[in-house]
Structure 1
C-alpha cells in the first residue's frame, strides 16, 4: 500500500518533522483509498464481525508498507524503523485473527506480496509517484472489494469462496471502485504534481466522463440499479469538469474528494437496500 501516498499527494511534508522518527505518513487522503473498498465490500456482502480485524489489518498495512518502502528509498532509514515494527505488529496480529478463520487468504497474501515487491522496486528507483505504480496501487485497493466480500460471506477452508467473490454485484462495485480511484488519482495529479501538464487535465476529465456510461452499462448487465452507480460517478465527472482549479488548497481538494467517495459508498448502500 506504499504508493497510495503518490496517488493522493494532497499535502506537503512539514519541515519541522525532518530528522525525527516518523510513525505515520503525511498523505492523509490515502486513508480514504483504504476505507472505500472495505465499505463497498460491506455493501455487497453484509456485516460480519470479521470486518473489524480485517479493517485493522488492511488499514495498518498502509503505514507499514509506507515505512518499509521509505526504509529502502530514503537516506536515513532509522527514522522509519519504529513505524515498521509498530504497524507490522498491528497488521500481523489483526490479520492472523482473520487468517485463522479464512485460511484461503494465504493465497491473497501471496498475490499482494508479489505486488508489493513491485511497489518496492518503484521505491528503490525513487519513482514511486509514477503513474504505473499508482495504477498498481489502485488495483491493490480495488481487489479488496471481492476479498472483503469473500471474508464476510464465509468460506473457512483453503479454497476461496469464488461464488461470493465473483457475484455480479461484487464485480460491478469492484469496477466502480477502480473507476473512482483512477479518476481521483488523475484529478489530484492534474491539480498538484502535474498541474503544468495539460495532458493530465484532459485525461482526468475524459476518464471521469467516460466512467459514467461504462458503469451504467455494467450495472444494467449485472443487475445493479443503474442510478446507484451513475449518480456518484456523475458527481465525480462534475468535479473533474467544473472544479478543476490548480490554485485550490490541498485541504479543500481533499474534502471534495472525500465527499465524492462518500457518494460512491452511499450508492453501494442504496443498491443493497433496493436489492
Structure 2
C-alpha cells in the first residue's frame, strides 16, 4: 500500500526549517534525531487526518486515511519518548499544539484550508518545533527559544503573503499592497531592533516586490521558496549566534 505523504513544498519547509534553526542555535545533540523523527511523524499524521475531515462523505476512504494518521501518530509517540524523558518540560507543547491543530482541523472540516488564519495557525504550530529543538540543544529555556520561533513565524507569514499574490490573489491589489507593506514594516522594525536581523529577510522582501502579483509557474515559485528558506535558515542561524538580542 502506497504511503500517504504531503506533497506541498511549503509544508516540508515548515517542518524542517524551524527545527534546524533551533538545533543550529542551541547546538546539536543525539536527542535531536528521535525528536525530529517524532516531529516528522506527527506532521505526517496531521495530513491524512485533515484529508479525512475534508472527505468525510466517503466513509471507506476516511477509515483508510484515519488508519494512516493513527499509525504515524503512534510512531511519533514512540520517538518522542527519549526527548521527553530527558526534558519533561517539553510536554507543554502538547496542549498548545492541540489547540492550534484543532483550528486547522476545523478549517479542513469546512474545506477552507487556504484561509489566512488557518495558515498562520499552522505556522505557529510548526514554529514550536524550533523551540523544542533549541531547548534540547541548549539544555535550558531562555529568550533565545522565543527568538527562534518568532523569526520563523515572521518569515513564513511573509511566504504566505507572497504565495497568495502569485496564485489565488494575484489580481487582488489589496493583497499585493498588504504583502509589500508587511515586508517593508518587517524590515524596518527588525532593523531598529538589530540591523543584522534584516539579512535573513532581505531575499523575502525582494521577492515580494520583484515577483508579487505576477503570473508564475508553480515550479518557479517552489524554487524561489526553497532558495528563500535555505537563505533564511543559514542567515538566521548566523545572526542569532553572533548578536546579543534583547530579552523578549
Give the TM-score of the pair, scaled to structure 2: 0.87
Residue 272 of structure 1, CA deviation? 5.5
- The residue number in structure 2 matching 1:9 is none
Tell me, yes or no, if the aligned pair for 2:123 and 2:153 is still in contact at 8 Å: yes
Counterparts of residues 203-222 of structure 1 (less than 5 Å): 203-218=178-193, 220=194
Residue 232 of structure 1, CA deviation? 2.4
Residue 56 of structure 1, CA deviation? 1.1
Aligned equivalents of 1:78, 1:251: Cα separation in 2: 33
Does 117-126 or 258-267 show the bigger shift? 117-126
- The residue number in structure 2 matching 1:32 is 13
- Is there any run of 5+ residues in structure 2 with no aligned partner, and where? 244-248
Cα pair distance change 1:173/1:39, threshold 3 Å: same
- The residue number in structure 2 matching 1:173 is 148
Residue 268 of structure 1, CA deviation? 2.6
Asked if 1:186 corresponds to 2:161, the answer is yes
- Please give the root-mean-square deviation of Cα atoms over the aligned residues, in Å: 2.1
Residue 248 of structure 1, CA deviation? 1.1
Render the CA deviation track for 1:73-99: whole Å, top value 9, x for unaligned: 213313423421332232122112222
- Is there any run of 5+ residues in structure 1 with no aligned partner, and where? 1-19, 155-160, 221-225
Number of corresponding residues: 239
**Greater helix share, 1 or 2?**
2
- The residue number in structure 1 matching 2:69 is 84
Partner SS state of residue 212, structure 2: coil
Cα pair distance change 1:88/1:174, threshold 3 Å: closer
Give the TM-score of the pair, scaled to structure 1: 0.79
Aligned equivalents of 2:164, 2:40: Cα separation in 1: 23
- The residue number in structure 1 matching 2:225 is 257
Residue 185 of structure 1, CA deviation? 0.7
Tell me, yes or no, if the aligned pair for 1:25 and 1:66 is still in contact at 8 Å: yes
Aligned equivalents of 1:203, 1:136: Cα separation in 2: 19
Aligned equivalents of 2:217, 2:203: Cα separation in 1: 20
Aligned equivalents of 2:38, 2:110: Cα separation in 1: 28
Residue 242 of structure 1, CA deviation? 0.7
Candidates 53, 65, 68, aligned match of 1:72: 53
Cα pair distance change 1:87/1:190, threshold 3 Å: same
